[in-house]
Amino acid sequence: MNGMDPELFEQFIEQLERYVRERLIPAEREVIEADRVPDEIVQEMRDMGLFGLTVPEEYGGAGLNTSQYARVVKTMAYAAPAYRSIFSINVGMFNSAIKNGGTEAQKTEWWPRIAAGEIACFGLTEPGSGSDSAAMATTARPDPSGNGWILNGTKRYITNAPHAAVGLIMARTEKEALPKNAHVSAFIVPMDTPGVTVGSPDHKMGQSGSHIADVILEDVHVPGEALLGGETGKGFVFAMKSLDNGRISVGAAATGYARRALDSALRYATERKAFGEPIANFQLIQQMLAESETEIYAAECMMTDVTARADRGENILRKAAAFKVFASEMCGRVVDRVVQIYGGAGYLAEYDAERFFRDARIYRIYEGTTQILQLQIAKHMLRDFAAQA
């Protein structure tokens, strides 16, 4: 994918960096206290085209390639995580699934709406299943009255569910688990469809302003056109392909947020004095700063590589998982060092270090936990080795 003209894209990134520093960061306190991104900022993000970053231009989007999209996410992630969260499901998950598996009619209907700023959610995880699709309980059965499907089940921890206009819902269309998860299909479900109920937003450890909630489906009737790709048994494949982009998004976000935390620690270390001099002069403080800089740089290099591979059309499942694992774990180590550099102040809510620590913890969990992704990486390593033997 060629993406946006490189010179034009660099101009956009410069504008976005100013917007992050001059508009989004000053508004963070309001986001945290109100636990929501102000409506006017969401509208500004719509006007900037952030909800349709990778939607093709002919459908109203910006037409960014994966490398450009990841840079936008990393830039936005320098500010509070809620800002990225509100548009990232649209771009990294919903739009990717439509691109990979949607019919022309589905692209024509949904891409312009997504690009215009309708918020999407992605319904895979359930109370009893996450990565284990064989245990998925949500069902989709043919509507006996004619064309269409009836969905029943509950989805859990669904980001943006309280605000979403549409959801991509995974449901089993076969009772028995089938090879390659062919028992799972994907459905495009407007959230105002009768029978769809969204629970109250869950209270979380961090990431104020970003909301997750249950989605309950009770005899939800959708037309046949709601089946992604018009074919059963492909839903999990589409979901996994879109998860590659979702994992790149999380990795980019973790990398951007680690940079924000490290910049904060640098500022604090040069201002805070002990024994008559800035603590930045102490070698063990410098060690923590240097280790953090080294790890962020490594994550940035991984991001550049995996997104370039995606733009060349390579299978990036293993590389995207590796990037997400490294970047999310790296961010956890960086924010832990930042708290340590702040010392006692790092444990106080009035300082940013405490918030960075709480916000960063989820990066190691969603879009595939570190442990699940390690299993996935190893499985594909062993499969590739066996194929070469």
Per-residue pLDDT reduced to its tens digit, 170-215: 999 988 877 777 889 999 999 999 999 999 999 999 999 999 999 9
- Segment 55-70 mean pLDDT: 94
Asked whether the predicted pLDDT for residue 236 surpasses 80, the reply is: no
The CATH code of domain 237-384 reads 1.20.140.10
Catalytic residues: 367
Q: Is 153 in contact with 222 (CB distance < 8 Å)? A: no
Residue 180: what pLDDT?
Answer: 75
CA distances from 198 to 24, 167, 252 (A): 28, 11, 29
Helix axes 66-76, 235-271, angle to 10 degrees: 40
Chain segment 64-109, per-residue pLDDT in tens: 999 999 999 999 999 999 999 999 888 888 888 898 889 999 999 9
DSSP class of 206 = S
Q: Which residue blocks in the chain are alpha helix, DSSP H?
A: 6-19, 28-34, 39-47, 66-76, 81-88, 95-101, 104-115, 235-271, 283-311, 317-342, 352-360, 370-388
Domain locations in the chain?
Answer: 6-118, 121-230, 237-384
Whether 370 shows a pLDDT value over 70: the answer reads: yes
Coil/strand/helix, residue 159: strand
**DSSP-based three-state secondary structure for 77:** coil
Say if domain 6-118 classifies as CATH 1.10.540.10: yes
Q: Which burial class, exposed, middle or buried, applies to 201 when counting CB atoms under 10 A from its CB (0-12, 13-18, 19+)?
A: middle
Fold agreement between 121-230 and 237-384:
no
At 172, give phi and psi (nearest 5°): -85, 130
Task: With a cut of 80, say whether residue 46 has pLDDT above it.
Answer: yes
Q: What percent of the chain has pLDDT over 90?
A: 84
Task: State residue 160's pLDDT score.
Answer: 93
Digit-coded pLDDT (tens) for 290-316: 999 999 999 999 999 999 999 999 999
Per-residue pLDDT averaged across 331-352, rounded?
97
**pTM of this structure:** 0.92
CATH class of the domain defined by 121-230: mainly beta
Side chain identity, residue 119: I
pLDDT > 70? residue 13: yes
